Amino acid sequence: MDYRKYHQTYYVRLDKEDEIISSLLEICRKEDIASAIFSGIGGCKHAEIQTFIPESGTFETQELSGMLELISLNGNIVRDEDGSLFHHTHALFSFKKDGVHCTAGGHIKSVTVLYTAEIELRPVIGGVIGRKKDPETNTGFWNF
């Protein structure tokens, strides 16, 4: 992993075997970033994608492996109620399965880079966005 800060934005290059979410959280801890948004693209080899099931209040996980084109990565990092960093990330991947071009996307638990990922990390300027739990769904939402 390597990154640079230009003005108020961090440009992050992740390399083979880097895990995207933990790398972004590491940068936020190191640079004392309390809340940020990010987006990116890249080539990945493994992803855990989750879909929230409202009826049960749980997530179903789908694992993808192989050559995964990271078409779109979007998310945010905020402080949880206990002060720890928390991410909320969604992504879309394209890949071939049995000779057919496919796509899959959703909430991201983890993503491992195959050859590179390029991510723009934009800290919130002039304030901090927190996270609070919704008692009905037990999921988290932004807290201003």
Domain residue ranges in the chain = 2-143
29 CA to centre of own chain: 15
Of the options 3.90.226.10, 3.10.20.30, 3.30.1330.80, 3.30.428.10, the CATH number for the domain spanning 2-143: 3.30.1330.80
Handedness of CA 56, 47, 43, 99 (dihedral sign): negative
What is the residue whose two structure tokens read 């940020």? 36
Structure tokens at 122: 């934009």
Are 132 and 83 within 8 A, CB to CB?
no
Digit-coded pLDDT (tens) for 91-109: 999 999 999 999 999 999 9
Helices and strands in the chain, H and E counts = 1, 8
Q: Which residues touch 40 (CB under 8 Å, ≥6 apart)?
A: 12, 20, 70, 73, 117, 118, 119, 120
Compute the average pLDDT of residues 1-16.
98
| pTM score | 0.93
Residue 117 amino acid letter: A
Digit-coded pLDDT (tens) for 13-69: 999 999 999 999 999 999 999 999 999 999 999 999 999 898 888 889 999 999 999
